[in-house]
């Protein structure tokens, strides 16, 4: 979501004649867009400011803005602690960014913009053409969260659940497709809680899928409680919808899920997966896990291991519990660090093994790959298969934006390598 927000900030600031530069030392304004999910994010802000200070030691100081959830959650502290920062702006106030910059061009007083005004934000954003022109792009359709998991900062930094209008989203998708985009990932902190005047995510997907030129649709991140029957069904009804679903579960233990206030059980979670696989047999899952949540016993952890073995997630993102200030879990008694670390290692070894076993089965298979760009090495193209696996092939032809059938010949932990199967022309390309 921060990538989407950064692109929109860039589009907004173009209106006051700012353009992006890769040469940091030449910037007049430096905007650092931040995430507050884990502790390290705040440290990174101070680290980055140190880097900018060094870069501008003998030059005119640029305007320095901290955007995103760290700004929202810790704005006052940042402004007090680091005088080099001119302003902080929360994620629901981006529509004010140009006023803020213009103000700072003539004024040195620190500014704090951390209001929750999501309606106004999207009202202004919809008037600003989305100029993203990569092959695969993000589109924020929903923001905020009403679930209040005890470990999470999102309800406090992004506010209550809000869904954008279907018409507005169709217009923005068309703009992106006109720019050359072939794949879109619909984004939301609780993407499947999307509900605009009674219309749900499944309806939005079907509407967007009608746009000619758009080849693939993905969505992330879903909450199990909002995984309704219509969303399961749309995986059968919409050919453009890709068969990889990111469905965070966090723990395999019902006791831990309850302690986290996740509002679902493991049995309910498994039931969703069963329904999805019945709907479309090639569906695969990825998930997020928190290891060592306060109160997690060895038995609870083993339930997480059991879940991993059962579902065989093809990708998983696992972290040791990180206590975030302002959340109910902040003051809970932590699992001893060495135990938490040991559990994380066990879990990650297992998930790596499952991932490797899955990927080895892809050898010699032919997969449709949408190519996104030429790699730095030249004559090699990077793309993704339907399950979001990275694929690289050699080619003298420009493959960017094309879908090709690729026979997988080699792989490592992160990438599949292959050659274009010329005998099997992909339907997107044949037309
Ligand atoms: S559902 Fe997701 S975004 Fe919402 S509080 Fe829980 S972890 Fe955070």
- DSSP secondary structure string, 27-89? -SEEEEEE--SSTHHHHHHHHHHHHHHHHTTTSPPPEEEEEEHHHHHHHHHHHHH-TT--EEE
Q: How far is the CA of 322 from the centre of ligand 1 (A)?
A: 14
Residue 400: the pLDDT is 96
Beta bridge partners of 420: 406
Query: DSSP assignment, residue 416?
Result: E
- Which residue is closest in CA terms to ligand 1's atom 8? 152
Q: How far is the CA of 229 from the centre of ligand 1 (A)?
A: 21
pTM of the model: 0.90
Atom of ligand 1 nearest to the CA of 158: 3
Higher-pLDDT residue of 206, 109? 206
The mean predicted confidence, pLDDT, of the chain is 93
Atom of ligand 1 nearest to the CA of 223: 1
- What HEC string does 343-393 produce? HHHHHHHHHHHHHHHHHHCCCCCEEEEEEEEECCCCCEEEEECCCCCEEEE
Atom of ligand 1 nearest to the CA of 221: 2
Contact 38, 322 (CB under 8 A): yes
How far apart, in whole angstroms, are the C-alpha atoms of residue 112 and residue 89? 6
Residue 89 confidence (pLDDT) above 80: yes
Residue 11: the pLDDT is 92
End-to-end CA distance of the chain: 34
Q: How does residue 431 score in pLDDT terms, banded at 50, 70 and 90?
A: very low
Residues 6+ apart with CB under 8 A from 429: 402, 403, 404
Residue 176: the pLDDT is 95
Contact 137, 175 (CB under 8 A): no
Residue 116 confidence (pLDDT) above 80: no
Residue 365: the pLDDT is 95
pLDDT 10s digits, 53-78: 999 998 999 999 999 988 888 888 89
- Which residue is closest in CA terms to ligand 1's atom 6? 149
CB of 155 closer than 6 A to ligand 1? yes
CB of 329 closer than 6 A to ligand 1? no
Residue 427: the pLDDT is 55
Q: How far is the CA of 221 from the centre of ligand 1 (A)?
A: 9
CB of 189 closer than 6 A to ligand 1? yes
Smallest CA-to-CA distance from 152 within 357, 293, 310, 317 is with 293
Residue 190 confidence (pLDDT) above 80: yes
CB of 369 closer than 6 A to ligand 1? no
pLDDT 10s digits, 200-225: 999 999 999 999 999 999 999 999 99
- Concatenate the DSSP letters of all residues of 176-230 into one string: HHHTT--EEEEE-TTGGG-EETTEEHHHHHHHHHTSTT--EEEEE---GGG--HH
- Percent of the residues in the chain that have a pLDDT greater than 90, as a whole number: 79
CA dihedral 137, 142, 148, 152 (to 10 degrees): 20
Q: How far is CA 69 from the centre of its chain?
A: 14
Residue 430: the pLDDT is 41
CB of 145 closer than 6 A to ligand 1? yes
CB of 160 closer than 6 A to ligand 1? no
How far apart, in whole angstroms, are the C-alpha atoms of residue 50 and residue 108? 19
Q: How does residue 125 score in pLDDT terms, banded at 50, 70 and 90?
A: confident
CB of 154 closer than 6 A to ligand 1? yes
Residue 118: the pLDDT is 81
């Amino acid at each position: 979501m921060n990538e989407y927000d950064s692109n929109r900030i860039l589009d907004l600031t173009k209106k006051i004649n700012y353009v992006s530069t890769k040469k940091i030392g030449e910037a007049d304004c430096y905007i650092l867009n931040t995430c507050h999910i884990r502790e390290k994010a705040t440290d990174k802000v101070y680290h980055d400011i140190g880097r900018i200070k060094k870069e501008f030691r003998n030059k005119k100081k640029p305007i320095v803005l901290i955007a995103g959830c760290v700004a929202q959650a810790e704005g006052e502290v940042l402004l007090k602690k680091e005088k080099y920062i001119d302003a902080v702006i929360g994620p629901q106030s981006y529509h004010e960014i140009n006023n803020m910059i213009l103000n700072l061009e003539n004024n040195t007083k620190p500014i704090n913009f951390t209001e929750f005004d999501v309606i106004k934000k999207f009202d202004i954003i919809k008037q600003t053409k989305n100029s993203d022109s990569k092959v695969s792009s993000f589109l924020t359709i929903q923001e905020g969260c009403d679930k209040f998991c005890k470990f999470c900062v999102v309800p406090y930094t992004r506010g209550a659940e809000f869904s954008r209008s279907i018409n507005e989203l169709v217009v923005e998708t068309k703009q992106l497709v006109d720019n050359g985009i072939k794949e879109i990932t619909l984004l939301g902190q609780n993407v499947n809680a999307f509900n605009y005047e009674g219309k749900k995510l499944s309806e939005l997907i079907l509407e967007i899928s009608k746009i000619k030129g758009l080849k693939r649709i993905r969505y992330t991140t879903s909450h199990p409680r909002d995984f309704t029957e219509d969303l399961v069904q749309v995986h059968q009804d919409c050919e453009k919808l890709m068969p990889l679903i990111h469905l965070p579960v966090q723990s395999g233990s019902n006791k831990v899920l309850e302690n986290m206030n996740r509002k679902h059980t493991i049995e309910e979670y498994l039931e969703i997966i069963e329904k999805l696989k019945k709907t479309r047999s090639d569906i695969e899952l990825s998930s997020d896990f928190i290891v060592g949540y306060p109160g997690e016993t060895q038995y609870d952890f083993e339930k997480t291991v059991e879940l991993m073995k059962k579902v065989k997630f093809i990708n998983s993102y696992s972290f040791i519990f990180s206590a975030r200030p302002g959340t109910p879990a902040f003051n809970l008694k932590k699992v001893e660090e060495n135990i938490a670390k040991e559990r994380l290692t066990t879990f990650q070894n297992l998930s790596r093994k499952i991932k490797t076993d899955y990927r080895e089965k892809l050898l010699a298979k032919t997969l449709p790959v949408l190519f996104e760009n030429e790699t730095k090495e030249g004559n090699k193209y990077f793309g993704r298969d339907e399950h979001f696996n990275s694929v690289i092939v050699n080619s003298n032809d420009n493959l960017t934006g094309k879908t090709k059938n690729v026979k997988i010949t080699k792989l490592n932990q992160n990438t599949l390598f292959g050659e274009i199967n010329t005998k099997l022309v992909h339907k997107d390309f044949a037309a």
